[in-house]
A = this chain, B = another copy of it.
Amino acid sequence: MEIIQAQGYDVAFGNEAHQYLGELLNQQQYSKLIILTDTNCNELCMPYFLANLPTTVPFEIIEIEPGEEHKNLQTVESVIQAMLELGADRKSAILTVGGGVITDLGGFVASVYMRGIDCYNTPTTLLSMVDASVGGKTGVDLGSVKNCVGTFSMPKLVIVDVAYLDTLEAAQLKSGYAEMLKHGLICDKDYYMHLRDIRAIDFADLETFIMHSVAIKNAVVSQDPKEGGLRKILNFGHTIGHAIESYHLSESEKETLLHGEAIAIGMVLEAYLSMITGRLSQESFELIKTDLMSIYTMPEFTDKDIENILEWLKFDKKNEAGEIKCVFLEEIGGASFDNLIDKNLIFRAFRESLKEGVK
């Protein structure tokens, strides 16, 4: 069993990781386990999870509705209410089994239930395996403002078993893949150059790639756990990507974008900003744009759309005193943070960077 040591806990890979999880749970003598999942995952992943988890601790399953629109304080309240009714106490633990919504929300509930209980994560989507499994960020949205309520709170163990990915649709896989591409773009050129041609990827190697992404994220987070500086580079594509995602969440007539889809658009735009502010070469920008547009569909944004998206930027957690700060690529494989950026330039980026063939 491969293990990556994160901040005070292990990320364990493979089917055997379930065994490791079971042993830890039995050692800790928990009074009760609360398994938090969503209705999809309860059907598709829970039989495999339970069949592979050897534990003698009594458990209860709480399931919530799937989807980012349920990642909010109302769901937190209903989960806590259910936990109280099920008799969960300070010696109970939460096991999350699901995608990023479940691991973010479950981690947050664990960090505040009776002022904090233990949490174990079993991410079942590619996105949550490569992104939510490391770093201790928990949280929920408020309205459509992403992750504005949350904590830094480390799980006790994360297990990553690619068998769960068999249940995923292609769009979900591509959503997670965007974060892997991001890891390459900000930190590791060779990795990016390997990943960029998705058609050439052998998905039998996926576990290796996931481990590489987890290792990259872990190396960054270890140097700056509370995001005082360096960790911000993990937000490449996210300043504008989150605003796009929030806008689509808030407009009921817009189709919901998956997180990775929004981040892919954000990466093209922020790479463009990196170029026009003199950081990134035009050649590198064109390569990134071509790659991302070959994998992800770029929606058409009207001027009205763009104006609305710019309004959402004011809620970005990296802002200070009303100024928008953005991660720029200096090269493929290198990024800088805390770059002030003007809204007019972002507007221009929307209009100029997303068109096919525009140089």
Partner-B contacts on A (CB < 8 A): 31-32, 73, 76-77, 80-81, 84, 87, 89-91, 108, 111-116, 137, 139, 142-143, 145, 147-152, 226, 314-315, 317-322
Contacts and interface: CB of A to CB of B under 8 A. Distances in A.
B317 A89 contact: yes
Q: How many copies does the complex hold?
A: 2
Interface of A is mostly: mixed
B151 A137 contact: no
B148 A114 contact: yes
B84 A152 contact: no
B81 A143 contact: yes
Given A114-B150, A115-B151, A116-B152, 16 more contacts: A31-B321, A32-B321, A73-B76, A80-B148, A87-B322, A89-B322, A91-B320, A111-B151, A112-B150, A112-B151, A113-B149, A114-B148, A115-B139, A115-B152, A116-B151, A116-B226
Contact of A142 (B77, B148, B150): B77
A165 B147 CA distance: 39
Nearest to A89: B319
Contacts of A150: 112, 114-115
A74 B183 CA distance: 37
- The 4 lowest CB-CB distance pairs between A and B, nearest first, are A31-B321, A115-B150, A114-B317, A73-B77
Contact of A89 (B89, B151, B321): B321
Contacts of A76: 73
A151 B150 CA distance: 11
A137 B152 contact: no
Given A89-B317, A89-B320, A321-B91, A148 B84 contact: yes
Nearest to A109: B149
A148 B113 CA distance: 6
